Amino acid sequence: MRVSATERTLNYAILIGFSLIVLTPVLSILAAAFGPANASAAREGAFHPGNFATAWVEGRFGQYMGTSVLVAVIVVSLSVLLSILSGYAFGTMRFRGEQGLFYLFLLGIMVPSEAIIVPLFFDLRTFGLTDTVWAVALPQVAQSVAFGTYWMRAYFKSVNPSIMDAARVDGASKGRILFSILVPMGRPAITTMVVLMFMWTWNEFLIPLVMSPSGEFRTAPLGLAFFQGQYTQGTALLAAAAVMVALPVVVLYFLMQRHFIKGMLEGAVKE
Amino acid sequence: MRALPRASSGPGTPGRHTARQGRAITPYLFIAPAFIIYAAFMLYPLARAVHLSLYDWDGLSLATFVGAGNYTDILSDTRLRAAFGHAGAFIFFYAVLPCGIGLVLAAVLTRAKARGLALFRTLVFLPQVIAMVVVSVAFKQIYAPDGLLNTVLRSIGLDSLTRAWLGDYVFSLPAVGLIGSWVSTGLVTVLLLAGMARIPTELFEAARLDGAGAVREFIYIIVPSVRAELTVALTLTIVASLKTFDLIYMTTSGGPGSSTTVPSYEVYRRAFETGQVGSAAAIGVTLTIIIFLVTLAVNRISERGA
């Protein structure tokens, strides 16, 4: 297809203009993060990578990042394992109540955290379970499993049944077929799921905010919110902290962007 | 196994009977671990939310049954009415505006087969993966009285327009809403670009032979072809707009006054700050129902039009 030179120029202008709109907040926070934290720092120069170390220590981000990693490891590993198992059943087996059960899982993709957070907090408080890592992690496992079951079911349904038949003829059990054939074959689909679950868990805000009222299991995004409340005048340190909180997911995104984009576009439930 | 008749596994082998019995329960065993956690931390709390929403409870003392009182409050309480009204405004900023921009943007890029699209895709999708708290911090600095926006306005002589954007009764809602537009537009554009890439080139060529201009091409070829993608885009962004909690918590806390409060923020405020637990649960349940209805409606409309 040919378009005129004017249109071509216009197109690039739009591309660049729009990219700039997207980049402005990103670049402005990066600039602030490397900028001087106060007037005396400003006299020493314009470039201050030391802000990151200062923010890390003053905002106790070592502790918060540690909690975030712990929560992410629990949520992602548990959700992936459970989703593979349930997706396998929904994708390859026929049983009574299959459809009803599957719709029940789909429900969880749409229910907002806001709806379940209130009873979760008050019920777990009754059992003395708030302020534990499980109170922060397990509700997120439930959310991720809803998506994961849907996602893995789609993968297992896409597998050519003759592969499973051949393995069964060779005498392989259901578990064997799953773990030595289907899981290795499904690495791309599973990777996409892992990446998405990691991002959701790392960026989650409401659940850790409510489920750890004492702040003992404060994750990195909450640490940032807390830091914002504590240091109202230090924009440079706050910006540096924000960059650190965003960094793990952003780095992963640049390494595996196909998985991110594919997952987020295809993961949308159309039912 | 879907297309596999039962008999094909072959009868007659010893132990087949027990194997078949085992088979009947096998699927449930695979589902059980996921279902137990899902039921305990999603289904049960959801049912409990409905239960709690029928009571007046401060979280500590004895609860009083009020029936649908907490739900009728949503209509009569001015602050809650405002919150749901703002949710409507957020649907515009998160979903409608980005879909409009995304359609034009993706159409222009598809028509031109511009180079550098891959890099563009990577860049515009970036806001989707940055934690909302971080996005909030970035925009809070931009909207600050001595922030980037006011600096730019002053430098071009529009001093009269400068203000504390997030502290303004009129401008705080669109200011926060536009953060949502910033987050959504990339997702929508990437989604629509993928849809438009599937339109056969011959369709454009035929249209151009018939003398169709860019505008008619847009209305008669491009928009109808991406109906499915547009449905997904609208569903995703509308649902995201209704779940805007972190953004409000970080930027305005619903203020000034109640000018930027939204249902999801009211859930938090009522349950954990003002001791109106029943009302908070009712708002959460209402929000869930709205999300269901919106998803259903968007998909119905798109199916009917197809």
Cβ–Cβ under 8 Å, residues B99 and B230: yes
Euclidean distance between the first and the last CA atom of chain B, given in angstroms as a whole number: 33
Long-range contacts formed by A29-34: CB under 8 A, 24+ apart: A29/A239, A29/A242, A29/A243, A29/B134, A29/B137, A29/B138, A29/B141, A30/A239, A30/A243, A32/A235, A32/A236, A32/A239, A32/B141, A33/A236, A33/A239, A33/A240, A33/A242, A33/A243, A34/A236, A34/A240
Find residue B64's DSSP bridge partners: B56
Cβ–Cβ under 8 Å, residues A16 and A205: no
A82 → chain B, closest CA residue: B34
CA distance A115 to chain B (A): 4
Q: Is B135 on the interface with A (CB under 8 A)?
A: yes
Per-residue model confidence (pLDDT) at position A242: 96
How far apart are alpha carbons A206 and B303 in whole angstroms?
35
Per-residue model confidence (pLDDT) at position B23: 67
- pLDDT category at A188 given cuts 50, 70, 90 is very high
Is the Cβ pair A110, B287 closer than 8 Å? Answer: no
Per-residue model confidence (pLDDT) at position B20: 45
Per-residue model confidence (pLDDT) at position B200: 86
Instruction: Please compute, for residue B162, the number of CA atoms within 13 A of its CA located in the half-sphere on the CB side.
Output: 17
Structure-block tokens of residue A147 = 């998506």
Report pLDDT digits (tens) over A161-182.
999 999 999 988 999 999 999 9
Q: Is B267 on the interface with A (CB under 8 A)?
A: yes
Angle at B266 between CA A134 and CA B53, to 5 degrees: 75
Q: Is the peptide bond before A221 cis (omega within 30 degrees of 0)?
A: no
Q: Is B69 on the interface with A (CB under 8 A)?
A: no
3-state secondary structure of B65: strand
Is the Cβ pair A264, B187 closer than 8 Å? Answer: yes
Structure-block tokens of residue A171 = 């005498």
Task: Indicate if the pLDDT at residue B9 is higher than 90.
Answer: no
Q: Is B277 on the interface with A (CB under 8 A)?
A: yes
Task: Indicate if the pLDDT at residue A233 is higher than 70.
Answer: no
Structure-block tokens of residue A40 = 């005396």
Report pLDDT digits (tens) over A114-155.
999 999 999 999 999 999 999 999 999 999 999 999 999 999
Report pLDDT digits (tens) over B85-120.
999 999 999 999 999 999 998 988 887 776 788 888
Is the Cβ pair A110, B272 closer than 8 Å? Answer: no
- pLDDT category at B8 given cuts 50, 70, 90 is very low
**Which of B113, B137, B242 has its CB closest to that of A1?**
B113
Report pLDDT digits (tens) over A56-110.
998 899 999 999 999 999 999 999 999 999 999 999 999 999 999 999 999 999 8
Cβ–Cβ under 8 Å, residues B214 and B110: no
Residue with tokens 């970036």: B126
How far apart are alpha carbons B223 and B44 in whole angstroms?
42
Cβ–Cβ under 8 Å, residues A186 and A83: no
Q: Which residues contact B134 (CB under 8 A, 6 or more apart)?
A: A29, A221, A224, A242, A243, A245, A246
Structure-block tokens of residue B212 = 């169709």
Collect all residues of chain A within an 8 Å Cβ-Cβ radius of residue B205. Answer: 1
Chain B interface, best mutation among A77, A78, A90, A114, by max B CB count within 10 A: A114
Average pLDDT, rounded, for chain B: 88
Q: Which of 191-230 (B) contact A at CB < 8 A?
A: 191, 194, 201, 204-205, 214, 228
Kindly give the residue spans of alpha helices, DSSP state H, lying in chain B. 16-38, 44-52, 69-76, 78-91, 97-112, 117-125, 132-143, 148-155, 172-197, 201-209, 214-217, 223-225, 227-242, 246-251, 263-272, 277-305
Distances (CA, A) of B194 to A189, A254, B48, B103, B240: 19, 19, 41, 12, 21
A115 → chain B, closest CA residue: B284
Collect all residues of chain B within an 8 Å Cβ-Cβ radius of residue A8. Answer: 112, 114
Task: Indicate if the pLDDT at residue A156 is higher than 80.
Answer: yes
Per-residue model confidence (pLDDT) at position A229: 86
How far apart are alpha carbons A246 and A253 in whole angstroms?
11
**Percent of chain B at pLDDT exceeding 90:** 61
Average pLDDT estimate for B230-257: 92
Euclidean distance between the first and the last CA atom of chain A, given in angstroms as a whole number: 36
Report pLDDT digits (tens) over B156-211.
988 888 898 999 999 999 999 999 999 999 999 999 998 898 888 888 888 888 88
Count the Cβ atoms, other than its own, within 10 Å of residue A65: 18
Nearest to A241 by CA among A27, A115, A58, A19: A58
Write the ipTM. 0.92
Average pLDDT estimate for B271-294: 95
Per-residue model confidence (pLDDT) at position B21: 45
How far apart are alpha carbons A164 and A183 in whole angstroms?
12
